[in-house]
Amino acid sequence: MNHLKKTSWILAIALLGTFHLHAQYVTVHAKSAIPGQQRGMYYALPRTVLQFDFTIEETLSYVGPYCDYAGFVGATDIITENSKQYRIVDVTMNSVAEADPNATFFIAMNNKKGETIDVHLTPQGILQSVGIEPQPTEEPTLSPMMKPAVQAQEANFKYKYGATAMKTEEQQAIAAAEMITKIRDEKIKLLTGYQETAFNRDTYRQMYADLDEMEQEYLSLFVGKKVTNQQVFTVYVTPSKDVPLQTIAKFSPKFGFSSGTAGSGEVITVQVMSLQNTGTINQLSPSAVETLSHENKLFYRIPETANVKLCLGPEKVLFETRSTIAQLGAFMLAPLGKTRLAFDPCTGQMINMGLE
């Protein structure tokens, strides 16, 4: 009986010794790492950042200098006050990957045989491969927060008479109206072929276009002028499991676009709803990820697919699509040691596994 008990203890110690002999690497969450007391390295899994580019058009309306005499040219649709108006012309979305501070881990190297582990990271510290050379990839980069605008100039009324050209503004308006009549007569002559000199078709078209442009410039003295410019505003959104709906900006036709929650107008929101593609996977719990140590294993993540909806106010949908969101996915463990592993640095997904 004592001999059997003694044999059992020896076997248990032997098994335990074998287990620890092969436990050369221990992976823990960065929160549980002890800096300076362990040999090893940090690595991160990627998280997805959504980049929204809003193209905003600004329209500046200027009152014509002869608006009070618009009846001279039969105009009724005229600009009566200087104003600004804004509208959303376009919205595009791109996704980029960055190191996830909530999914950063430490691999402690406990082996005593001088063995090394061949781990490859991106310049951001995102896990790429273990035991094999990573495939060269071009990492997407974040764009500037605001791109240069196509600047609008002050309204230039090209054919406005100078202050000393005539005695009164009414006389100036009469002269401008007479010029419009002359231009229209010349356009009719071109259309009817009433010209002393014959021109080819392209020349006629150019002459007509020049006259039409001149007429519009003179008309703007009465009806006013609109000048537009466009500017691209960029907003970055980091989706979260805990906050599926985020307010990212405000927009007003009167005051324009403002990022964040400040400013005037209706709110612009982003809703990121997981499609639960990883819901059937038996995944690690958050506590197991953050508090437990895992021997001869490392963390990776299976990304999730989500529906991304961008709305202005409660009802108007500006943009909607499906996108892969890394941080909404499932944490998993991969064997570490005599294995060759490759990961997608944009999603964290394992894309290749081999045994030595």
**DSSP secondary structure string, 144-170?**
PSBPPP-PPPPP--TTPPPTTTSSSHH
Over residues 342-346, the mean pLDDT reads 95
Element (H or E) spanning 285, and its range? none
pLDDT tier for residue 338 given thresholds of 50, 70 and 90: confident
| Over residues 50-65, mean pLDDT | 95
Residue 226, pLDDT score = 92
Residues 299-312 have pLDDT tens digits of 999 999 999 999 99
What per-residue confidence (pLDDT) applies to 155? 64
pLDDT digits (tens, 9 = 90+) for 261-278: 888 899 999 999 999 999
Sheet arrangement for strand 127-130: 119-121, 127-130, 339-343, 350-355
Reported as a pLDDT band with limits 50, 70 and 90, residue 212 is very high
Q: Would you state the structure tokens that stand for residue 278, as one six-digit string? A: 């990883």
pLDDT band of 92, cuts 50, 70, 90? very high
Integer angstrom CA distances of residue 38 from 35, 106, 353 = 7, 10, 28
Which distant-in-sequence residues (6+ apart) come within 8 Å of 206 by Cβ? none
- Interacting residues of 99 by C-beta distance below 8 A, sequence separation 6+: 44, 45, 46, 47, 124, 125, 126
Per-residue pLDDT, 116: 66
Helix (H/G/I), strand (E/B), else coil: 356: coil
What tokens were used for 106?
A: 């430490």
Which residues are within 8 A (CB) of 258 and not within 5 positions of it... i.e. 6 or more apart?
A: 249, 250, 251, 264, 265
Distance, CA of 164 to CA of 151 (rounded, Å): 32
Dihedral sign computed on CA atoms, order 213, 217, 218, 220: positive
pLDDT at 333 over 80: yes
Return the SS3 of 280: coil
Residue 226 phi/psi, 5-degree rounding, is: -115, 135
Q: For helices 201-223 and 169-192, what crossing angle results, to 10°?
A: 160
Cα angle: 104, vertex 51, 273; to 5 degrees: 75
Q: Is the pLDDT of residue 37 over 80?
A: no
Q: Is the pLDDT assigned to residue 29 strictly greater than 80?
A: yes
Point out the least confidently predicted range of 39-43, 161-165, 234-238, 288-292.
161-165
- The highest-confidence range among 165-179, 196-210, 308-322, by mean pLDDT, is 308-322
Distance of CA 63 to the CA centre of its chain: 38
pLDDT of residue 14: 31
Report for 156-170, 281-295, 302-316: range of highest mean pLDDT? 302-316
The pLDDT value recorded for residue 145 is 53
* DSSP 8-state code for residue 347: T
